[in-house]
């Protein structure tokens, strides 16, 4: 069973529908026992880093999520669900993350020149399709061409201390982390559930993943 973690801060319906489309047996749940019983969990996230982190604690789901990861079971984080894996987030102050990926989550500069027109600045948030360069060979990239397009909506991005944790990069003014991976953990800044065939293939690979 795949549990999409409902802690009040995620795009739950589209994520669960995408997982079902590729053959997943999916439940959306806010119950710690469903997280504990899951073979795979997906942690989506929409909104501000501190709000998502606080909601995860207040719903009593932080400990079962960490226990799932500690047990070596597959985990997939999406957007802020990826950002919370870092040590800290720098959005409206400095806030502690889960500390599973050493590093910090920082904002895009608001003064980045647009490469297509140097008379204007790139807009923040970064919203739309960008190519993702695969930074490591990983089972979740199987069947997905390097530099394929995925869909992003975000103003902040992770900076891992150890570049070995970087699973994918994209460009928005400068390179930034598009995906991270470590052991049984994989997470993306982009939204696979909004990324059409490439995103569905990534989720299909996740549900069959046995790290």
What single-letter DSSP state applies at residue 36?
Answer: H
Is residue 186 helix, strand or coil?
strand
Range of the domain at 84: 2-207
What single-letter DSSP state applies at residue 139?
Answer: G
Q: Please state, in angstroms and rounded to a whole number, the distance separating the CA atoms of residues 183 and 68.
A: 13
Active-site positions read 79, 191, 193
Q: Please state, in angstroms and rounded to a whole number, the distance separating the CA atoms of residues 113 and 42.
A: 35
Please report, for the domain that includes residue 71, its CATH number.
3.40.50.880
CA 88 to chain centre: 15
Q: Of how many residues is the chain composed?
A: 211
Determine contact, residues 85/101, Cβ cutoff 8 Å: yes
First-to-last CA distance in the chain? Answer: 16
Torsion of CA 197, 190, 17, 137, to 10 degrees: 60
Retrieve residue 85's tokens. Answer: 């894996």
According to the model, what pLDDT value does residue 84 have? 97
Rg (CA), the chain: 16
According to the model, what pLDDT value does residue 10 have? 79
According to the model, what pLDDT value does residue 129 have? 97
According to the model, what pLDDT value does residue 158 have? 97
Retrieve residue 81's tokens. Answer: 């669900």
Q: Crossing angle of helices 196-207/12-21, nearest 10°?
A: 70
How many folded domains does the chain comprise? 1
Per-residue pLDDT of the chain in tens (211 residues, 90 and over written 9): 999 999 998 789 999 999 999 999 999 999 999 999 999 999 999 999 999 999 999 999 999 999 999 999 999 999 999 999 999 999 999 999 999 999 999 999 988 888 878 778 889 999 999 999 999 999 999 999 999 999 999 999 999 999 999 999 999 989 999 999 999 999 999 999 999 999 999 999 999 999 9
According to the model, what pLDDT value does residue 9 have? 85
The answer to whether the Cα torsion of 91, 84, 79, 14 is positive or negative is negative
Bridge partner list, 157: 106
Determine contact, residues 172/108, Cβ cutoff 8 Å: yes
């Amino acid at each position: 069973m795949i549990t999409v973690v409902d802690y009040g801060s995620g795009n739950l319906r589209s994520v669960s529908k995408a997982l079902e489309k590729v053959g997943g047996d999916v439940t959306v749940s806010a119950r710690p026992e469903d997280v504990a019983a899951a073979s795979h969990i997906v942690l989506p996230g929409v909104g501000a880093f501190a709000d998502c982190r606080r909601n995860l604690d207040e719903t009593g789901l932080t400990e079962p999520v960490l226990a799932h990861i500690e047990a070596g079971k597959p985990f997939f984080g999406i957007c802020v669900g990826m950002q919370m894996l870092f040590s800290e987030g720098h959005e409206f102050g400095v806030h502690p993350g889960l500390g599973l990926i050493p590093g910090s989550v920082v904002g895009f500069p608001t003064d980045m020149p647009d490469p297509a027109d140097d008379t204007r600045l790139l807009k923040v948030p970064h919203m739309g399709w960008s190519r993702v360069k695969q930074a490591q060979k990983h089972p979740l990239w199987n069947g997905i061409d390097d530099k394929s397009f995925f869909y992003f909506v975000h103003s902040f991005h992770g900076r891992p201390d150890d570049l070995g944790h970087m699973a994918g990069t994209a460009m928005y003014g400068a390179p930034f982390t598009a995906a991270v991976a470590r052991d049984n953990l994989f997470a993306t800044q982009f939204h696979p559930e909004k990324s059409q065939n490439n995103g569905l293939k990534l989720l299909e690979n996740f549900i069959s993943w046995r790290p």
